Amino acid sequence: MERVIKSGSGWRIGWNPSAPEFKGLVGTDDWAIELTEAELDDFCRLLLQLADTMQQLRSELMDEEKIACEAESDLLWMEVEGYPHAYSLRLILNTGRCVEGKWSACAVPGLLQAAGTLKVF
């Protein structure tokens, strides 16, 4: 397998299996952070989990009702905020690098789709 970088409007995600330590990359048009393989795995898993939660809540909320949901692992914390059909995403690394990032609601669908197909988890 070789290096893969996927990107769209307001997001990018990458995987480089031959990198010595930081095999993953997430970011926007303006910033990026390299992640370890475990951090990237958690990022993708938690993102898919949060998206699933938002879809499940869709029928329980009124159209104008916003919601925030968070999920975390030992390595990172993530939060989605907004409407079930349009929400932003925040990321904070719990490891020693002290990184925080955010994606706008218009960037999340593309990032979500790419995260699900980046590599086999």
Ordered by where they begin, the domains of the chain are 4-117 (2.30.31.10)
Q: What is the pTM of this model?
A: 0.92
From the list 3, 103, 1, the residue with the least C-alpha distance to 43 is: 103
Give the CA diameter of the chain.
48
| pLDDT, tens digit (0-9, with 9 covering 90-100), for 55-111 | 998 888 887 889 999 999 999 999 999 999 899 999 999 988 889 999 999 999 999
| pLDDT, tens digit (0-9, with 9 covering 90-100), for 15-71 | 999 999 999 999 999 999 999 999 999 999 999 999 999 999 888 888 788 999 999
